[in-house]
């Protein structure tokens, strides 16, 4: 049976114009990711990894090329449709977690559900299920600012999962963690992919992360190169 294509990028280019000059971040990126795959993109700082994730999430527009996510042509969507894409099709986990430190774990994880208009009881039920799943139910009422880095990363994952997205995009999910916590996060991705058939794209400069993915690429000079293992 042919596998479902969830993310498709064709000849994607992105250039930034700054007062210091022109930066060619992506120079013709092609990428196909199927349902349930965990794909890793490894590359040095400045290679364009975050740019690539933001383009897939509809947070940045490419200069050229096609970006198709779950059948949506991301470059053609208006602001409303992009908001829908970000809130229900794609779960973006930024490198700095993007959590609100003064709010509790529950309040952070339920934010996307609130935006989606889910009522309070249903929201709380869903959030507690997610916190059980990531092993942080005991921290539900804790303010995020009191959590460890590893715990924050897992809360950010729970929040990204709240609306059952088909694609998770993780930007350097282990960058601020010791290896023990990094391994826990990577094993959590493997569990999510198995349990929910979620497609996961992980970008990282850490080669150890690439041991936990199904398929990997190297991002160099704005281009993706498959790495055969
Ligand atoms: N908004 C922006 N304006 C101008 N230049 C940018 C912008 N965003 C990224 N760049 C430049 O594009 C290039 C790629 O940046 P990007 O953040 O995608 O790299 P990265 O691989 O994620 O790096 P890191 O590993 O350090 O996070 C860099 O040279 C960066 O300076
Ligand atoms: Mg980055």
Do residues 140 and 106 touch, judged by C-beta distance below 8 A? yes
> What pLDDT digit, counting tens, does each position of 118-132 carry?
999 999 999 999 999
* Residue 41 in tokens: 């993109």
The reply to whether ligand 1 has any atom less than 6 angstroms from the CB of 174 is no
The reply to whether ligand 1 has any atom less than 6 angstroms from the CB of 26 is no
Do residues 9 and 30 touch, judged by C-beta distance below 8 A? yes
Side-chain half-sphere of 220: how many Cα atoms within 13 Å? 5
Give the bridge partners for 169, in sequence order: 92, 201
Do residues 163 and 114 touch, judged by C-beta distance below 8 A? no
pLDDT by 10s per residue, the chain, length 229: 557 999 999 999 999 999 999 999 999 999 999 999 999 999 999 999 999 999 999 999 999 999 999 999 999 999 999 999 998 899 999 999 999 999 999 999 999 999 889 999 999 999 999 999 999 999 999 999 999 999 999 999 999 999 999 999 999 999 989 999 999 999 999 999 999 999 999 999 999 999 999 999 999 989 999 998 7
Angle at 125 between CA 127 and CA 139, to 5 degrees: 45
The reply to whether ligand 1 has any atom less than 6 angstroms from the CB of 18 is yes
* CATH superfamily ID and name for 5-96+165-227: P-loop containing nucleotide triphosphate hydrolases (3.40.50.300)
Domain ranges of the chain: 5-96+165-227
Ligand nearest to the CA of 16: 1
Q: What is the pTM of this model?
A: 0.95
The reply to whether ligand 1 has any atom less than 6 angstroms from the CB of 96 is no
Alpha carbon nearest to ligand 1 atom 7, residue: 16
Residue 58 CA to ligand 2 center (angstroms) comes to 16
* Residue 169 in tokens: 């995009």
Q: How far apart are CA 59 and CA 85, in angstroms?
A: 10
Q: How far apart are CA 77 and CA 103, in angstroms?
A: 32
Which helix (H) or strand (E) is 179 found in, with range? helix 179-196
> What pLDDT digit, counting tens, does each position of 66-116 carry?
999 999 999 999 999 999 999 889 999 999 999 999 999 999 999 999 988
The reply to whether ligand 1 has any atom less than 6 angstroms from the CB of 48 is yes
């Amino acid at each position: 049976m042919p596998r479902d294509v969830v993310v498709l990028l064709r000849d994607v280019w992105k250039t930034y114009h700054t007062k210091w000059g022109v930066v060619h971040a992506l120079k013709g990126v092609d990428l196909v990711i199927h349902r349930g795959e965990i794909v890793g993109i490894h590359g040095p700082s400045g290679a364009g990894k975050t740019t690539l994730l933001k383009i897939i999430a509809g947070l940045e527009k490419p200069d050229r090329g096609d970006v198709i996510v779950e059948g949506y042509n991301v470059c053609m969507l208006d602001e409303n449709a992009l908001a829908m894409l970000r809130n229900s099709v794609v779960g973006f986990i930024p490198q700095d977690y993007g959590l609100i430190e003064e709010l509790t774990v529950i309040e952070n994880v339920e934010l996307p559900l609130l935006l989606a208009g889910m009522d309070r009881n249903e929201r709380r039920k869903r959030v507690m299920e997610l916190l059980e799943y990531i092993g942080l139910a005991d921290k539900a009422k804790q303010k995020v600012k009191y959590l460890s880095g590893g715990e924050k990363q897992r809360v950010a994952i729970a929040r990204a999962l709240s609306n059952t997205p088909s694609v998770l995009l993780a930007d350097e999910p282990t960058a601020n963690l010791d290896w023990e916590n990094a391994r826990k996060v990577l094993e959590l991705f493997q569990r999510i992919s198995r349990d929910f058939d979620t497609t996961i794209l992980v970008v990282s400069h850490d080669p150890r992360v690439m041991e936990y993915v199904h398929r990997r690429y190297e991002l160099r000079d704005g281009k993706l190169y498959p790495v055969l293992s």
